[in-house]
Structure 1
Amino acid sequence: MIELLDYDFMRRALVAAVFTGLAAPAIGTFLVQRRLALLGDGIGHVALTGVALGLLTGVAPVLTAVVVAVLGAVVIELLRMFGRTSGDVALAILFYGGLAGGVLLTDLADESASVLNNYLFGSITTISDGDLTVVAILAVIVIALAVGLSPQLFALCQDEEHARVSGVPVRVYSILIAVLAAVTITVAMRTVGLLLVSALMVVPVAAAQQLTRSFRATHAAAMAIGLFAALGGVVSSYEIDTQPGPTIVLLALTVFAVAALLATTTRRLRSRRHPVDFARGDI
């Protein structure tokens, strides 16, 4: 396994996996808390239009994807705040619009479908030094803000009305969460792909929730699970010759299954050790 470090592309892939594995659950925790787990899918399809725009204009697709994804995230949040359109409908509109726009612009750029596949399903082993630099910078920003502002963001996610009364700038932080989610998606699109990135933002959080009770513990555990899944997925894909993106997601799902099994087993053991005594009025 050590031999994979002999290859430059694998070293870049592992570094990208570290940043992606930490950043995706860092912001994904807040999306899950706000019941916006599918936001990543919607923004991912919008980012596809950004990738295609980069291919059409000759600008780095990662940069155009960041800009378009951020704009799409802001539009979704503004529609949710002020528009009559419900959040899920607004998400669906951008979901399909982003996908159609990406395919159309790719055709206009005379690029093949295989080029889009690198972004739809990830192509971490082909990431360049320039892409890695952009990924690292954006991931550090996401992680720093998600961790540094976690008390305020948690207050918003837990009870929006209470946060507003407490003086938390709800609208600002709501847009910030959407923007950080958009940036994270563009960070992860070369790792797990735009179609699978939402899984890396949600599944580690769901797994962590099976094992932890406090928000802080869930946040930390989700980032640890995301890091394990990303690194383990890259290494496993090298060993068994599979695509890294799906391998990372399946490994994260495996961790979730194990965590859910452990949580269920633990609850049953506790119930057997401390049975409810109806005669004494324990209920």
Structure 2
Amino acid sequence: MDIFSFDFFRRSLLAALLAGPTCALLGVITTSRGQAFFSDSLAHSTIAGYGLGLLIQLLLSQLLGISFSSVFISSFMFFYCLGVSLLFILFLNKTRLESDTLLSLIFTGSVALGILILTKMIRYPFLESLLFGDINACSWTDVLLLGLVSLSAFFFLFKNMPGLLLLMIDENMAVAEGVQVKKLNYQTVILIGGIIALSLKLLGAILVSAMIVIPAATAKLLAWNFRSLLFLSLLYGLLGAVGGVLLSYYIDAMTGPTIGGFEILLLLFSFFIKKFFKKKDSKKQLD
């Protein structure tokens, strides 16, 4: 049977096609600035966001008799991620706390609060879907929103790439060159928050940062300049996401972990390719 005849599979593949390259491109920015842990902490904060969303929905339903559609939780999660992103950058600018300290607080506090709420409200299978994702549950609305955010992300990143490149090299240099560092930081963090919120159904809270960090890390193994780093990151992001969806179908496995595992395989493959050519070049020099 042709797998493309299934509507859910077409949605899954399109979602992976959109999210993979976008997350990878954002990964270049975060990993180059030493902020890889930010995406991981923000992804884990969604556990608390999901729990709070369900709690608010339950309380309003019981107290006011308000009925909610399935869109409520997705919308709440999106704005929750944006809120956490803004709070992080605000506290980073207004307090003396280091970024890794703030991220650790977000990480541990959100996981503790989220698990506490969720284990009291829902059964384990639902929690499993949140943690590990279920891309096959994506609706066409989810795909459309992901497409809009992905287009916005590409437009923003390429428009501001000179300033972001200066930030990656040296923040003081960026300030000296007239880059609006604080504004750019806020915009980048909000963008990452939006992408993570919409990518949760692919990999879930535990593995979503893999789509951001791993393709960029893999590209760095083989890149020879910044342009090649961007191109290879996009390529690895696309291959990892789409390849993981296809592989999960054929081996009958959960899609989220399969995407993460497939991206790790791409990383290892690239590592051995680099080692192979490095040894080959060394032999030529000796000869």
- For normalisation by structure 2, the TM-score amounts to 0.89
Q: Which moved more, 1:86-95 or 1:130-139?
A: 130-139
Given that 1:208 and 1:221 are in contact with CA atoms closer than 8 Å, whether structure 2 keeps it comes out as: yes
Q: Which moved more, 1:80-89 or 1:247-256?
A: 80-89
The match for 2:194 is 183
Query: How many residue pairs were aligned?
Result: 274
How far apart in 2 are the matches of 1:105 and 1:140?
35
Q: Which moved more, 1:130-139 or 1:179-188?
A: 130-139
- Amino acid of the structure 2 residue aligned with 1:206: A
Q: Which moved more, 1:217-226 or 1:261-270?
A: 261-270
The answer to whether structure 1 residue 127 and structure 2 residue 141 are counterparts is no
Q: Which runs of 5+ in 1 are unaligned?
A: 277-283
- Amino acid of the structure 2 residue aligned with 1:65: M
Task: Summarize the Cα distance change of 1:134–1:105 in structure 2 as closer, same or farther, 3 Å threshold.
Answer: farther
The match for 1:223 is 234
The answer to whether structure 1 residue 34 and structure 2 residue 33 are counterparts is yes
CA RMSD across the alignment:
1.8
How far apart in 2 are the matches of 1:135 and 1:49?
22
The match for 1:165 is 176
The answer to whether structure 1 residue 212 and structure 2 residue 223 are counterparts is yes
The match for 1:193 is 204
- Amino acid of the structure 1 residue aligned with 2:46: A
CA offset digits 1:63-83 (Å, max 9, x no partner):
211211112122222333331
Match of 2:202, SS state, is coil
The answer to whether structure 1 residue 141 and structure 2 residue 166 are counterparts is no
Aligned pairs for 1:33-182 (under 5 A) are 33-56=32-55, 57=57, 58=68, 60-106=72-118, 110-182=121-193
How far apart in 2 are the matches of 1:129 and 1:169?
37
Match of 2:201, SS state, is coil
The match for 1:281 is none
Match of 2:142, SS state, is helix
- Amino acid of the structure 1 residue aligned with 2:142: D
Given that 1:237 and 1:247 are in contact with CA atoms closer than 8 Å, whether structure 2 keeps it comes out as: yes
CA offset digits 1:79-98 (Å, max 9, x no partner):
33331111111001111122
The match for 2:21 is 22
The answer to which structure has the higher helix fraction is 2
How far apart in 1 are the matches of 2:156 and 2:286?
45
- Decide which of 244, 252, 255 is 1:241's aligned counterpart: 252
Given that 2:142 and 2:198 are in contact with CA atoms closer than 8 Å, whether structure 1 keeps it comes out as: no
Q: Which moved more, 1:7-16 or 1:260-269?
A: 260-269
Given that 1:164 and 1:170 are in contact with CA atoms closer than 8 Å, whether structure 2 keeps it comes out as: yes
How far apart in 1 are the matches of 2:123 and 2:138?
19
Given that 2:15 and 2:143 are in contact with CA atoms closer than 8 Å, whether structure 1 keeps it comes out as: yes
Match of 1:71, SS state, is helix
How far apart in 2 are the matches of 1:275 and 1:259?
24
Give the deviation of 1:114 after TM superposition.
2.0
The match for 2:65 is none
How far apart in 2 are the matches of 1:12 and 1:165?
46
Give the deviation of 1:254 after TM superposition.
0.8
- For normalisation by structure 1, the TM-score amounts to 0.91
CA offset digits 1:10-59 (Å, max 9, x no partner):
01101111111111111111000001111111101222222223333245
Give the deviation of 1:231 after TM superposition.
0.7
